[in-house]
Amino acid sequence: MSSENNGLLDNLLSRFDDAIAKLDSAPTFAKVSKVGRVLDTARRILMQEGGCTAVASRAAQLEKAGVFVGSDWETPAFLIPALTRYSLQSPVAETVIIEALSELRFLGVANGSYVHEHLSAEQARHFLSQVLATNLAMLFTPPSEAERETQGKLSQIPRAVLRHLAEGIGYEHIIDQLIDEIWRILNQRPIQVESAKQMITQIAICQADPNIELAGSGQGADRLISSLYGPTRACREDPGISVYEQRVEAMDDSARLSEASGFARAMHDTGLVSAYHAVFLRAVFEDDDQLMMEALGLTSTGRDSYLCYRTLVKALIDEAVHPQTPQAIYGLALMLERGVLYHPSVAPALWRQLALILSPFSRERLAMAFGEAVSPRSLLLEGVLCMLGQPLGVGQGNNPTCQSARALSMWAYNDPDYLMQMVAWAARDDEIIMHFEGQPISSRESTGGVAETMPMDLDAVSLLVVPHLDRIYAEMGRRCIGREGDPHRWVNPEFHGWWSGRGFRINVDVATGALMEEEEFLRHFYAAYHPYYNGNQPMIHPQPAGIAVTDSAARFIGWHAITLLRVALDTDDVMRVYFYNPNNDSGQDWGDGVVVSTAGKGERYGEASLPFVQFASRLYIFHFDPLERGELARVTEDELQEVIGYLHRSWGKDRLPAAGALQADSGV
């Protein structure tokens, strides 16, 4: 902790102690007027590094002073762990803070620092174990759209408190749920895997600690741990980088081939890459090509790409693959498997990337976010390879920049050389210029993007490019001021690319926020995208679309940008929409039985899906080609009414004609 932060925390704690003392001395009838200052100061403290520890040490004083008096938290023995999720995700700051104080109180009782009259240490520990299991998604993943919209910066407090609780009572109490959560996240193949690595590391620590009794929990953890710390026979016991380098040097051809196969299996099984894999690849990449292709786990397509572009691939490995940047290997392997290098302009663009001179600002940003163990250029190249290999793994982090994340994903998926041009402009020139209706827009001259602060919790490419795109997107929106209708009609095709359909439908009146032309909107969507009504025409290019995000109670949260990828029958012959969601974790419960699937329903890595009917009920904007219209009249009334039922039971409930004004646009 820096001295500046340390001084701020000390100052806040002094004020906190004073507020607690005044609350303690106040008569019962006057305590309610004193609690507000305690909670507000606690909120500011919990935002600071070390704040949870400081507040937890005052748990007994807080309860004695009466911070819980008259509230639902007054009697801890009556509290229900399953309800903590609603308190921690509340848009009301006081509710979040008092829940946080209550859980830190339980932690004090559980570890023996606070002897409670009505609560035993065993009861407190059991309660917290259930709290952590209930809120597992918050423990390691960034805030969802719902939390970003309703809580803002407040959403960081529950995560800080939950991490403090987990460290305090031990991860062994939630180990099985942790394993399930890791696999759920990895099945989506995100580019950013640090949260998953943190979880796996915690499991490994629990298993290695002789003082932790796991009993029957932790089954199935070995595959995850070995994927990072011992994926092959020669590094099974996690010997360290230098020892493993010596072992590779001493191996014969048969042993090296066995190592290469082991690394490839572990990588493609989990989407995670061990630092030992990077050591191995760097040690053998001058040897025969068969060993290299085996270590990358390539199929015939990838092997053909490798052999056609052998010199380039080896140059990419030399620059991007280091023990500190092992995910570059997975990105490279998937890029070769996609055949991206067969685009005529991609190979020259990668050669340019290898020689790119980064601006001082870009180097500083990358070093600030990822450290200085390897060069900023290597970090950025790793990010480029991962984005080209995993275009559906791009995440927006804890930022309202879904438009920009979607654009990066769409370009990586559909127009990779254009993506690399954006990277070159942003990293080298600190400026991106795009055109809107023939007029140039400079990111350097545009101000006031959607994000209020410079995003930091992003992959290397997004870290440099998103701030520029965010400002340009906002400027395009400003240039539509005064036009009738929704600005996305004009902005999306100009921002994302020519393949975005110029046909545009919206089912919300921008001026009033009321639903409008619901049936016509749905008939157009069915006719444009449902194979039974569009002549069985598959989607050719990904298309931007906007959804109304709802929470698990089907209540409206906000607008969100997604990408339509394809529509197809799943293994149960249910017609599903497969789409890309930039929110870092696509598996969400949108209420009324609408639960987004990310695996097991025919999804490819990175895709989310819903049955066509359910997806259509959350859709509010889509683009289409007006020259390829399907048959509107063939859509049955029964199917339309099923969609409208979902719609009216969720975000459309309060938007029937004459409803209130449309909420502020969050970027669809």
The four Cα atoms 559, 560, 566, 568 give a dihedral, to 10 degrees, of: -60
Task: State how far the Cα of 242 lies from the Cα of 343, in Å rounded to an integer.
Answer: 39
Ramachandran category for residue 339: left, alpha or beta (phi over 0 → left; psi -120 to 50 → alpha): left
H helix or E strand, kind and range, residue 441: strand 439-442
pLDDT tens per residue across span 257-288: 999 999 999 999 999 999 999 999 999 988 78
| 409-450 pLDDT, tens digit each | 999 999 999 999 999 999 999 999 999 999 999 999 887 777
Neighbouring C-beta atoms of residue 512, cutoff 10 Å? 15
Is there a single domain that holds both residue 553 and residue 642? yes
Query: Is the same domain home to 337 and 362?
Result: no
Check residue 628 and give its pLDDT. 82
Range of the domain at 326: 230-342
Residue 7 has pLDDT above 80, yes or no: no
pLDDT of 492 reads 95
Residues 475 and 506 in one domain: no
Residue 472 located in a structural domain: yes
In a domain, 133, yes or no: yes
185 found inside a domain? no
Tokens standing for 375? 């060069």
Domain end marker among 449, 479, 509: 479
* Residue 177: inside a domain: no
Q: Are residues 251 and 337 in the same domain?
A: yes
pLDDT of residue 398: 76
Residue 171 region by backbone torsions, left for phi larger than 0, else alpha for psi between -120 and 50, else beta: alpha
Interatomic CA distance for residues 66 and 60, integer angstroms? 10
Are residues 414 and 313 part of one domain? no
Query: Is the domain of 352 the same as that of 302?
Result: no
Mean pLDDT of 519-548: 94
Condensed to tens digits (0 to 9), the pLDDT of residues 68-98 reads 988 889 888 888 887 898 899 888 999 999 9
Which tokens go with 281? 């690849």
Query: Is 153 a member of any domain?
Result: yes
Do residues 119 and 158 share a domain?
Answer: yes
Q: Angle 508-509-511 (CA atoms, 0-180°, nearest 5)?
A: 140
Compute the mean pLDDT over every residue in the chain, rounded to the nearest whole number. Answer: 90
Same domain for 32 and 151, yes or no, is yes
Q: Do 151 and 53 fall within a single domain? A: yes
- pLDDT for 218 beyond 70: no
Measured CA distances, 546 to 413, 492, 620 (Å): 19, 11, 6
State how far the Cα of 36 lies from the Cα of 95, in Å rounded to an integer: 11
Global pTM? 0.84
Residue at a domain's end among 126, 147, 169: 169
| Same domain membership, residue 617 and residue 519 | yes
- pLDDT of 664: 40
Of 342, 359, 385, which residue sits at a domain end? 342
Residue 417 pLDDT: 96
- Kindly state whether residue 216 falls inside one of the protein's structural domains: no
- Residues 597 and 613 both lie in one domain: yes
- Are residues 159 and 260 located together in one domain of the fold? no
What are the structure tokens assigned to 144, written together? 């969802």
Q: Tell me, what's the pLDDT at 99? A: 95
Task: Identify whether 668 is part of a domain.
Answer: no
Q: Is residue 332 part of a domain?
A: yes
318: exposed, middle or buried (C-beta count within 10 Å: 0-12, 13-18, 19+)?
A: middle
Residue 409 to residues 85, 214, 389, 543, 564: CA-CA distances in angstroms? 31, 41, 11, 12, 12
Among the listed residues 407, 412, 396, 411, the one whose alpha carbon sits nearest the alpha carbon of residue 458: 396
How many structural domains comprise the chain?
4
Residue 132's pLDDT band (cuts 50, 70, 90): confident
Mean pLDDT of 502-523: 93
